[in-house]
Amino acid sequence: MATVPKVDVGTDYKEKYGFFVPEDFVFKAKRGLNPEIVKEISWMKKEPEWMLKFRLRSLEIFRKKPMPKWGADLSVIDFENIFYYLKASDRQSKTWEDLPPDIKATYDRLGVPEAERKFLAGVSAQYESEVVYHSLQESLTKKGVIFTDTDSALRDHPELFKEYFGTVIPPADNKFSALNSAVWSGGSFIYVPKGVHVEVPLQAYFRINAENMGQFERTLIICDEGSFVHYIEGCTAPIYTTDSLHSAVVEIIVKRNARCRYTTIQNWSTNVFNLVTKRALAYGDATMEWVDGNLGSQITMKYPSVYLMEPGAKGDVLSVAFAGKGQHQDAGGKMIHVAPNTTSTITSKSISKGGGRTSYRGHIKMYPDAKNSKSFVKCDALLLDDDSRSDTYPYNDVDAENVTLGHEATVSKVSDEQLFYLMSRGITRSEAETMIVNGFIEPFTKELPLEYAVELNRLIQLEMEGSVG
C-alpha cells in the first residue's frame, strides 16, 4: 500500500467548524476497490440486475482510464485505501425526532433544524453514504414532485429512473464519473412534473464523517416542460488526518421552457479531494443555472457544464472559489452550444490567500449547428498576499457561423485606495479586507437564499480572520 503523505488541514480548522461523533455503523465495507466490493454494495442495496451490470461495467472503465494529466496533482490518491460504502442506519427516518442522537448532534452544529424551521420544504440530509433523514412537504407530493434519495428512487420509480440515469454523464465520460458509476450511493433524485413550480428551494446537507471514507453520491434531477426547481446542496466536514475522496456525479435534464437552478456551497475539510462531474442538458428555451461556491477541500476539480441542445436554451454558471493555505481550487464551467440561438454566460470570482491557489478552467464550444449563439465569460481573481497564486485557463472553440464569444479576465490585489478609505473611517485593516472580499463576491452571495448568504459571509469572515499581518 502506498504511503499517504501528511496533509496539512489547517491548524485552526477544528476550532472553527471541525467536530465529529463516534462512528456507529450498521454495515461497513472493506477498504479497496474490486468487483466483489461492487457486488456487495449492489447486493446490500437489493438492486436490480441491470444496475449491478452497470456498476461492474463502470468499474472496468475506471480501471482502464488513465488519471488526468492536467489540473491538480491527484497522484496521492490511493484508491485501495478508501471505504467505498458505508451505511449509518438501516432505515430511513421519517421525522427529525426519529434521528439517532449522535447524528442529531452533528446536525445541530450545522444548523439544519433551524433552516428547516424557517422555510424548508424538504430536507434530505446525507449522513455518511446514505440519506437517513428525509422529509417532504405534503404540498409537494400533491403536485406530483418526487424528491427522494437516489437509492429509493431506483426502487420506487424504476421506469423514470432507468430512462434518465447515466444518460447525461455516461460512465466513460471521465475516470471519476466511472468510479462514481461503479460505487455510487445516496444523492438526491428530483422529478418535477410539467408546469409545476417548486416555490421553495429543496436542499440536502451532505456530510463525510468516517475516516478515509469516500462519498460517491449520485444526483439526478429531471425538470419536465415548463417547470421550475431550485436545489441546494451544502457541505461541511469534520477534521480527519488522512485523505478522503469525494467524487459525485450530478445529472440534470431541463426540458423545454423549464428552469433549474442548482446551488452548491462546498466546504469540505481541507484534506478532502473533491472531484465532481456536474452536467445539465438544456432543451428548447430552457434555462439551467449553476451557482457554485467552493470554499473547502484540499483539491477541488469541478466544472459544472450545460449542453445547450435546442434553440433558445440558456446556460449560466456563477462560480466562487476561495483557496487558503494548502488548498487548490480548480473550478470553472463548460458551455457546449449544440443548437442555434443559444446563449451562455460564465462568471467566476476567485480569492487566493495564504499560499492557496485558485484556477479557473473553462470551455466554450460552439458546434457548427450553433449559429447565432452567444457566450460571455468573465473571470475576476483577487490575490490577498504574494504567496498565493491564480491561474486562468479558458478554452474557446468556435466552429459555428455568426456567433459571438467573449472572454475577459482580471487579476488584482485588494486595492490600497479602498483599504485606505475604509481604514480612515476607523475600520481595522483586517475588517476592511473582509469587507472588500465580501463585496467582491457579492454577485454570488446575492443569488443565495438568505441563510446561506449569511453562512457564506460568516465563513469568509472565519477564513479572513488573522489573515493580515
Partner 1 sequence: MPFTLESMEEIASLHGEPDWLRKRRKSSFDAFERLPMPSRIDEEWRRTDVSGFDPAQYSTLEHLNGQKLVLPSTLPPGVILKPLRQAAQDHPELVEPRLFSLVHADRDRFSALHAAFFTGGTFLYVPDGVVINQPVIGQHFSHEGGTSVLPHTLIIAGKGARFDYLDEYIAEHDDEAGYRSGSTEIFLGDGAQVGYVAVQKWGRNVWHFADQRAELKKDSTLRLLNVTLGGKFSKTRVEASLVGEGADAELKAIYFASGEQFFDFHTLQDHQVGNTRSDLLFKGALQDTARTVYAGLIRIEKGAARSDAYQANRNLVLSEHAKATSIPMLEIDNNDVRCTHGATVGPVDPISMFYLQSRGIPEATARRMIVQGFFGQVLERIPFEHARALVEAELEARLG
Q: What are the residues binding partner 1 (CB under 8 A)? A: 70, 368, 371, 381, 383-386, 388-413
CB of 34 or CB of 402, closer to partner 1: 402
CB of 399 or CB of 442, closer to partner 1: 399
- In the chain the first and final C-alpha atoms are separated, in Å, by 42
> In angstroms, how far apart are the furthest CA atoms of the chain?
69
Contact criterion met (CB below 8 Å) for 353 and 324: yes
> Closest approach of Cβ 348 to partner 1, in Å?
12
Half-sphere exposure of 317 (CA within 13 A, CB side): 34
Q: Please give the DSSP secondary-structure letter assigned to residue 298.
A: S
Contact criterion met (CB below 8 Å) for 147 and 123: no
CA 358 to chain centre: 16
Task: Give the integer Cα–Cα distance in Å for 2 and 183.
Answer: 22
Task: Give the integer Cα–Cα distance in Å for 155 and 177.
Answer: 22
Residue 464 main-chain phi, psi, to 5 deg: -80, -20
Contact criterion met (CB below 8 Å) for 312 and 282: no
> Closest approach of Cβ 70 to partner 1, in Å?
7
CB of 368 or CB of 466, closer to partner 1: 368
CB of 164 or CB of 367, closer to partner 1: 367
Q: Which residues contact 307 (CB under 8 A, 6 or more apart)?
A: 168, 279, 280, 281, 282, 336, 338
Q: Rg for the chain (alpha carbons), in Å?
A: 21
Contact criterion met (CB below 8 Å) for 90 and 154: no
> Closest approach of Cβ 346 to partner 1, in Å?
13
Task: Give the integer Cα–Cα distance in Å for 256 and 314.
Answer: 11
Q: Which residues contact 357 (CB under 8 A, 6 or more apart)?
A: 323, 327, 328, 329, 388, 389, 390, 391
